[in-house]
């Protein structure tokens, strides 16, 4: 019997499903917690847009970090769809004709089988950037290998750095801080997106600034520096258990979306394994330094620099309302 058009039609998203999906997407990490995304829901389809009004032109003139942020939100959408028991098909759509339309997610019929991504759903809320010391506890090799596999599954690479590479990287991060301080617009960008208040639903509030190490190692970003009179708290930092570089073969909007999805898969699986993470992305904020960081051992072009380790007491950052994310 030939199926009717009615039987072929995929069930449209309910209000509850829309709330679940967009709320999960909005919980993704983003550069300076700008949350630079917007979504349009129609029937069983979700368009993912870049909100260029939230672009940090002083450190992200080509929109690379904005696209990575939106890629992380896209992975959260996929995980939330799996939790709802619906299949999903993703199309990456960046083009000159529609520069802000980045992707489309089409939801399929309900599937009784449990999707492998469904167990990751609770980690979407548990994951927070940890800008503090990690415990002096090694990350098992099997866990690191699993995270490497996570990146590969999303068309990216994750390379864990050795001692010599780590020393070189820390020097580069420290140098990049000096360059950034002289970069036009950097201080203003820092001030704008770290001037949090109890009513603001984006940016990095003072409670999430983290701390700085007494020794300067690792060279954490000092979010208090844009606020005269504020002083970062100093702490003793044991050696970070793992430092890794996430890279992609190419360096274009599609690659950046892959990088964002790979990043978020790494972060969610790391969270599920009891790990926390933060970033040392200062060299990637300076285009000239980032270009010089290409290395055959990283299997491509660096997109994110990640600290990984065990920690307690992560501090969350505010999130925009679902209604504010809809087009």
Task: Quote the distance between the C-alpha of residue 257 and its chain's center.
Answer: 10
Q: How far apart are CA 64 and CA 276, in angstroms?
A: 24
What share of the chain in percent tops pLDDT 70?
96
At 2 the pLDDT is: 42
At 8 the pLDDT is: 53
At 297 the pLDDT is: 72
pLDDT in tens, 222-234: 999 888 888 899 9
pLDDT in tens, 240-284: 999 999 999 999 999 999 999 999 999 999 999 999 999 999 999
In the predicted model, is pLDDT for residue 138 greater than 90?
yes
Name the strand (E) or helix (H) holding 104. Answer: strand 101-110
In this structure, the answer to whether residues 70 and 146 fall within a common structural domain is no
Q: How far apart are CA 203 and CA 176, in angstroms?
A: 22
In this structure, the answer to whether residues 177 and 303 fall within a common structural domain is yes
User: Within a domain: residue 156?
Assistant: yes
At 255 the pLDDT is: 97
At 230 the pLDDT is: 85
In this structure, the answer to whether residues 91 and 235 fall within a common structural domain is no
At 196 the pLDDT is: 66
User: Within a domain: residue 60?
Assistant: yes
pLDDT in tens, 145-185: 999 999 999 999 999 999 999 999 999 999 999 999 999 99
User: Within a domain: residue 129?
Assistant: no
In this structure, the answer to whether residues 112 and 152 fall within a common structural domain is no
| Domain of 60, in residue numbers | 5-124+319-325
In this structure, the answer to whether residues 160 and 304 fall within a common structural domain is yes
CATH number of domain containing 181: 3.40.109.10
* C-alpha distances in Å from residue 159, one per residue of 21, 24, 121, 172, 230: 31, 28, 25, 17, 36
User: Within a domain: residue 132?
Assistant: no
pLDDT in tens, 1-58: 344 443 357 889 999 999 999 999 999 999 999 999 999 999 999 999 999 999 999 9
In this structure, the answer to whether residues 120 and 157 fall within a common structural domain is no
Mean pLDDT across the stretch 316-326? 95
Position with higher pLDDT, 207 vs 254? 254
Q: Report the number of distinct structural domains present in the chain.
A: 2
Mean pLDDT across the stretch 79-87? 96
Q: Please, which pLDDT band fits residue 220 given cuts at 50, 70 and 90? A: very high
User: Within a domain: residue 149?
Assistant: yes
At 5 the pLDDT is: 42
In this structure, the answer to whether residues 180 and 285 fall within a common structural domain is yes
Among 103, 112, 115, 107, which residue's Cα sits nearest to residue 17? 107
Spatial neighbors of 270 by CB under 8 A, at least 6 apart, are: 143, 147, 276, 277, 308
In this structure, the answer to whether residues 19 and 111 fall within a common structural domain is yes
Position with higher pLDDT, 13 vs 199? 13
Q: Where are the beta strands (DSSP E) in the chain?
A: 37-42, 45-50, 86-92, 101-110, 157-160, 212-213, 234-235, 242-248, 275-279, 301-310
* pTM for the full predicted model: 0.95
In this structure, the answer to whether residues 40 and 74 fall within a common structural domain is yes
Q: Please, which pLDDT band fits residue 96 given cuts at 50, 70 and 90? A: confident
Mean pLDDT across the stretch 283-310? 90
In this structure, the answer to whether residues 157 and 98 fall within a common structural domain is no
Q: How far apart are CA 100 and CA 38, in angstroms?
A: 10
In this structure, the answer to whether residues 220 and 182 fall within a common structural domain is yes
Position with higher pLDDT, 227 vs 131? 131
User: Within a domain: residue 290?
Assistant: yes
Tokens coding 233 = 């708290």
User: Within a domain: residue 251?
Assistant: yes
User: Within a domain: residue 135?
Assistant: no
Position with higher pLDDT, 312 vs 34? 34
Q: How far apart are CA 143 and CA 108, in angstroms?
A: 32
At 167 the pLDDT is: 94
At 272 the pLDDT is: 98
In this structure, the answer to whether residues 185 and 303 fall within a common structural domain is yes
């Amino acid at each position: 019997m030939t199926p009717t058009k009615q039987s072929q039609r995929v069930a449209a998203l309910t209000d509850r499903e829309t709330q679940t999906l967009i709320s999960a997407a909005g919980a993704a990490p983003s550069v300076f917690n700008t949350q630079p995304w917007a979504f349009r829901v129609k029937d069983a389809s979700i368009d993912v847009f870049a909100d260029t009004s939230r672009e940090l032109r002083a450190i992200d003139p080509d929109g690379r970090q904005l696209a990575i942020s939106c890629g992380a939100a896209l992975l959260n959408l996929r995980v939330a769809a799996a939790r709802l028991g619906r299949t999903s098909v993703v199309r990456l759509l960046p083009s000159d004709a529609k520069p802000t339309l980045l992707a489309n997610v089409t939801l399929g019929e309900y599937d009784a089988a449990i999707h492998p991504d469904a167990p990751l759903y609770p980690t979407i809320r548990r994951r927070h950037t940890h800008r503090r010391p990690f415990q002096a506890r090694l990350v098992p090799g099997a866990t690191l290998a699993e995270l490497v596999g996570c990146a590969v599954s999303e068309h990216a690479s994750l390379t864990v750095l050795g001692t010599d590479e780590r020393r070189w990287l820390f020097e580069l991060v420290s140098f990049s801080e000096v360059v950034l301080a002289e970069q036009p617009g950097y201080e203003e960008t820092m001030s704008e997106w770290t001037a949090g208040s109890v009513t603001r639903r984006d940016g990095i509030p003072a409670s999430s600034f983290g701390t700085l190490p007494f020794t300067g190692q690792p060279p954490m970003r000092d979010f208090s520096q844009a606020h005269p009179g504020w002083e970062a708290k100093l702490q003793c930092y044991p050696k970070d258990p793992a430092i890794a570089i996430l890279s992609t073969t190419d360096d274009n909007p599609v690659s950046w979306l892959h990088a964002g999805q790979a990043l978020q898969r790494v972060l969610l699986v790391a969270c599920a394994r009891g790990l926390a993470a933060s970033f040392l992305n200062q060299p990637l904020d300076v285009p000239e330094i980032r270009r010089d960081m290409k290395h055959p051992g990283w299997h491509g072009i660096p997109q994110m620099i990640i600290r990984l380790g065990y920690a307690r007491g992560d501090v969350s950052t505010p999130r925009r309302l679902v209604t504010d994310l809809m087009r």
